[in-house]
């Protein structure tokens, strides 16, 4: 089953498409979406079709930064009740942690995590492809662009991140990235993230309204009861976080969920899945992305997918795709020298 995202994810699509010389209605129909979704922000639509739309729009317009252009005008209100809830938290960190809690209601294929490292905070965003060969560049840039826009509205309008890092390669034209983020953009990074000062997350919100936050929470919790996240979805999100660390085991996943291993195994079996099959599916998605969409060394790709040695990654890749990762990359003209 395809993951779903609120149609509000396509806010500003028509404006950016027209500016690029595209017909928004035709592009939506070609991607399998009705043009009416732009008028129904709370409607849930398949993530794969959104990704298809953004990639086709970037390709046909020649604008490699299409998704980022869509993020430039994004507002807190585009998040619906969740935007109202995070607006009235006591600190920026509280707002982002609340966003983490309800991220699945906004986008079932986007995982948000916050890690602290000394005086720095790392805001990671993991985009699940859903299809091994589905390009994710536009969705990733839209997601990180929206996050920077949200922080500027929650914290201060002139806020700039310390660094913004992308897994994919740099576009030919960096002007949009520099205009949006400043000069702190890096590509071919190990994961997609925004790095800022830990002190930014501790900044107090002088306009926080606890009463409004409680009201928004009640609205969200009432609607969330009919949108329960499955165990498979929970485990997929945790596997995406754990794989690069080399500690992706069912024991670690169960610990993150606050459950014992047997409970996780039983609930996955009830949904027709196993921990190993989920790990394999995610490795398939991510390996295609890293091998095809980036030119990072294949030894790094092996590590990011949780393999202890490149040889193990090569054998696994050949079993999945019928060829070596080197040959797969060479066939698309992106082999490293």
Report d(CA 149, CA 159) in Å as an integer: 9
For residue 228, how many other CB atoms are within 10 A of its CB?
9
Domain locations along the chain: 64-201, 231-331
Q: Does domain 231-331 have CATH number 1.10.10.60?
A: yes
The pLDDT value recorded for residue 313 is: 94
Contact (CB, 8 A) for 171 and 177 = yes
Taking the C-alpha atoms of residue 213 and residue 118, their distance in angstroms, rounded to an integer, is: 30
Closest CA to 106 of 135, 130, 86: 86
On whether the CB atoms of residues 182 and 159 are closer than 8 A, the answer is: no
Asked if 41 contacts 107 with a C-beta cutoff of 8 angstroms, the reply is: no
pLDDT tens for 171-202 read 999 999 999 999 899 999 989 999 999 999 99
Nearest in space to 233 (alpha carbons), one of 126, 137, 150: 126
H or E segment and range at residue 46: strand 44-46
Q: Report the pLDDT averaged over residues 217-234.
A: 74
Is there a contact between 327 and 317 (Cβ–Cβ < 8 Å)? Answer: no
> Of 333 and 27, which is predicted with more confidence?
27
- The larger pLDDT score, comparing residue 336 to residue 12, is at 12
pLDDT band with cut points at 50, 70 and 90 for residue 335: very low
């Amino acid at each position: 089953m395809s993951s779903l995202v609120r149609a509000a994810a396509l806010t500003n699509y028509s404006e950016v498409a027209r500016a690029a010389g595209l017909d928004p209605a035709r592009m939506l129909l070609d991607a399998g979406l009705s043009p009416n979704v732009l008028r129904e922000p709370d409607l849930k639509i398949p993530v794969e079709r959104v990704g298809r739309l953004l990639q086709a729009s970037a390709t046909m317009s020649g604008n490699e930064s299409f998704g980022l252009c869509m993020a430039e005008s994004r507002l807190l209100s585009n998040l619906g009740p969740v935007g109202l809830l995070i607006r009235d938290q006591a600190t920026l960190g509280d707002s982002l942690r609340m966003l983490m809690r309800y991220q699945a209601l906004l986008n079932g294929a986007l995982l948000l995590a916050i890690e602290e490292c000394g005086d720095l905070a790392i805001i990671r965003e993991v985009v699940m492809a859903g299809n091994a060969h589905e390009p994710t560049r536009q969705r990733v840039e839209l997601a990180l662009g929206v996050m920077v826009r949200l922080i500027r509205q929650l914290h201060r309008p002139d806020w700039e991140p310390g660094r913004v890092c992308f897994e994919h390669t740099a576009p030919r034209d960096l002007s949009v990235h520099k205009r949006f983020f400043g000069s702190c953009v890096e590509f071919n990074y190990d994961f997609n993230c925004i790095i800022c000062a830990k002190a930014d997350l501790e900044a107090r919100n002088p306009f926080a309204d606890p009463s409004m936050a409680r009201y928004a929470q009640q609205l969200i919790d009432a609607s969330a009861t009919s949108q329960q996240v499955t165990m498979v979805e929970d485990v997929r999100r945790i596997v995406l976080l754990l794989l690069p660390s080399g500690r992706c085991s069912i024991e670690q996943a169960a610990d993150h969920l606050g459950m014992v291993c047997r409970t996780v195994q039983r609930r996955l079996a009830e949904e027709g899945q196993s921990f190993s099959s989920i790990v394999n599916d995610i490795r398939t998605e991510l390996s295609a992305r890293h091998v095809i969409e980036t030119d990072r060394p294949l030894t790094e790709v092996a590590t990011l997918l949780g393999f202890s040695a490149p040889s193990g990654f090569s054998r696994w890749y050949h079993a999945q795709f019928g060829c070596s990762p080197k040959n797969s990359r060479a066939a698309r003209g992106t082999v490293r020298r």
